[in-house]
């Protein structure tokens, strides 16, 4: 067990104690969400086997919620075994069941059992997070997302300061954020596992607690649109500004592209009339200003990259995946058997048309509120939907992993918001208050 693993185990024990002694589920929920951002930190390392915090925390949360739901039903007659609404529940269970059955039929289950179990742990956690949303206190969800976002921004800022040698590379920080030594950093020409950075002369890119800038983009773009759809308070505006700054410093074409594409969705779906036109003109003005003021950065990250070796490699990965799909178009060749540049080519190669249809159905069941009247949903719920859409866009551009931790982190936040909204709807029905007022509670 790593140093981080020992501390994390202690935190999990205290959180579980609070759940069973005082019915305070929010502390364990917080650890689940934070674990989704610790992509470069291992909980356990033994004989080549490494386990991240998110797998263990997700499984523990699922077990605790199963016991808690059962106990409340048995003793108090409350909270029946009701998890996600039936459409989402159907799609997510179909996705897991399809992957397991396909792996058995194609003989790949033995080699990918641990990876399938990892995905299953995330799905189990997501399955019960809806119930947890009914137990969290008012205002907790917004505080949770704000706190996690600020923590990622602070860690990214520390990474920046250590990269340019303003701060020394502390071993303690490394143990809690970058103890995964699979990808070394380069420090004055020597391999070093103290902090997972590159010196700015070689690789000046910000990615906080994640393994690379594209993965950081999945968090940052999602967080940006979460707060963009919240009230425009000074605090939220400050977070939006710092997110834009760190997205820029990530030097990630995935982040830039996802920000632009999700922004277009936001203008088309979230706003009406003059507000939509104002956002479009404002976004266009910012884009033009960035083009002239930061052309060197844009040329290196976008324009030159499209004609460089990186783009060719990524296109080749997608081409190979597409050829694999043509060889087995209906069912694919099995989960984790082919990795392309984006989630769509990966799904086609691994799971065929059937798997792709299930995934699309699952995503549509999550983002459907964006196509319905806004007064049907709470503000936090819609903000979480926008965060999930932003993350899905990053997966569509250059992140091919169905088991991406931050993707399931955003899904857990969405499930919390959906569960909390159910409580608000009950308040609306019982007190006959305006739902928009109840949704702000």
At 235, the pLDDT band (50, 70, 90 cuts) reads very high
pLDDT of residue 298: 44
pTM: 0.87
At 1, the pLDDT band (50, 70, 90 cuts) reads confident
Q: Cα(432)–Cα(425) distance, rounded to whole angstroms? A: 10
- Mean pLDDT, residues 75-85 taken together: 56
**Is 341 a domain residue?**
yes
- Mean pLDDT, residues 100-129 taken together: 90
pLDDT of residue 273: 46
At 162, the pLDDT band (50, 70, 90 cuts) reads confident
**Is 189 a domain residue?**
yes
**Is 311 a domain residue?**
yes
**Is 441 a domain residue?**
no
At 191, the pLDDT band (50, 70, 90 cuts) reads very low
pLDDT of residue 267: 86
Rg of the chain, C-alpha, whole Å: 22
Query: Structural domain tally of the chain?
Result: 1
**Is 77 a domain residue?**
no
What is the DSSP code (8-state) at residue 342?
S
Would the pLDDT of 303 be above 50? no
**Is 425 a domain residue?**
yes
Would the pLDDT of 382 be above 80? yes
Residue 34's contacts (CB-CB under 8 Å, 6 or more residues apart) are: 148, 151
**Is 59 a domain residue?**
yes
Range(s) of the domain holding residue 307:
3-71+82-431
Each residue of 138-153: pLDDT tens digit?
Answer: 899 999 999 999 999 9
Of the candidate ranges 85-99, 170-184, 314-328, 364-378, the one whose mean pLDDT is the lowest? 170-184
pLDDT of residue 69: 74
Q: Give residue for tokens 């002369």.
A: 201
Q: How far is residue 413 from each of residues 148, 388, 397, measured CA to CA in Å?
A: 11, 9, 22
What is the DSSP code (8-state) at residue 137?
P
Taking 3-state DSSP, the helix, strand and coil percentages for the chain, each rounded to the nearest 5, stand at: 70, 5, 25
Mean pLDDT of the chain: 81
pLDDT of residue 272: 55
Highest mean pLDDT among 81-90, 107-116, 185-194, 296-305: 107-116
Q: Cα(184)–Cα(4) distance, rounded to whole angstroms? A: 18
**Is 38 a domain residue?**
yes
C-beta of residue 217 within 8 angstroms of C-beta of residue 250: yes
Would the pLDDT of 209 be above 80? yes
pLDDT above 90 as % of the chain: 42
Would the pLDDT of 245 be above 60? yes
At 428, the pLDDT band (50, 70, 90 cuts) reads low
Of the candidate ranges 95-104, 121-130, 355-364, 419-428, the one whose mean pLDDT is the lowest? 419-428
At 293, the pLDDT band (50, 70, 90 cuts) reads very low
């Amino acid at each position: 067990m790593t140093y981080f693993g020992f501390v994390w185990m202690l935190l999990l024990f205290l959180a579980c104690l609070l759940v069973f002694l005082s019915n305070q589920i929010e502390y364990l929920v917080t650890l689940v969400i934070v674990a989704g951002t610790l992509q470069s930190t291992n909980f356990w390392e033994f004989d080549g086997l490494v386990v991240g915090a998110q797998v263990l925390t997700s499984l523990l949360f699922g077990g605790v919620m199963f016991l808690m739901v059962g106990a409340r039903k048995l003793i108090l007659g409350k909270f029946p075994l009701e998890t996600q609404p039936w459409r989402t529940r159907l799609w997510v269970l179909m996705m897991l069941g399809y992957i397991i059955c396909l792996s058995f039929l194609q003989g790949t289950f033995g080699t990918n059992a641990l990876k399938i179990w990892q995905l299953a742990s995330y799905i189990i956690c997501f399955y019960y997070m809806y119930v947890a949303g009914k137990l969290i206190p008012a205002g907790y969800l917004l505080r949770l997302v704000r706190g996690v976002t600020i923590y990622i921004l602070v860690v990214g800022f520390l990474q920046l300061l250590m990269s340019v040698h303003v701060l020394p590379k502390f071993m303690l920080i490394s143990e809690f954020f970058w103890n995964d030594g699979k990808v070394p950093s380069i420090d004055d020409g020597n391999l070093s596992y103290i902090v997972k950075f590159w010196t700015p002369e070689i690789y000046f890119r910000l990615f906080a607690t994640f393994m690379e800038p594209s993965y950081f983009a999945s968090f940052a773009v999602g967080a940006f649109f979460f707060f963009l759809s919240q009230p425009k308070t000074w605090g939220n505006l400050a977070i939006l500004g710092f997110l834009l700054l760190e997205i820029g410093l990530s030097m990630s074409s995935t982040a830039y592209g996802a920000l632009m594409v999700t922004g277009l969705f936001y203008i088309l779906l979230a706003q009406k009339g003059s507000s939509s036109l104002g956002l479009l003109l404002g976004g266009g003005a910012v884009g033009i200003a960035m083009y002239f003021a930061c052309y060197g950065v844009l040329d290196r990250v976008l324009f030159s990259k499209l004609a460089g070796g990186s783009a060719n490699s990524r296109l080749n990965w997608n081409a190979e995946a597409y050829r694999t799909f043509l060889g087995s178009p209906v069912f694919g060749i099995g989960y984790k058997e082919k990795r392309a540049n984006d989630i769509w080519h990966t799904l086609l190669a691994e799971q065929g048309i059937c798997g792709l249809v299930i995934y699309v159905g699952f995503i549509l069941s999550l983002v459907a509120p964006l196509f319905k009247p806004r007064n049907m949903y709470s503000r936090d719920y819609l903000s979480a939907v926008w965060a999930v859409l932003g993350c899905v866009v990053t997966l569509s551009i250059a992140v091919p992993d169905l088991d991406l931790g931050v993707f399931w982190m955003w899904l857990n936040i969405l499930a919390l918001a959906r569960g909390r909204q159910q409580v608000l709807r009950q308040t609306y029905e019982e007190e006959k208050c305006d739902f928009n007022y109840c949704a702000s509670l």
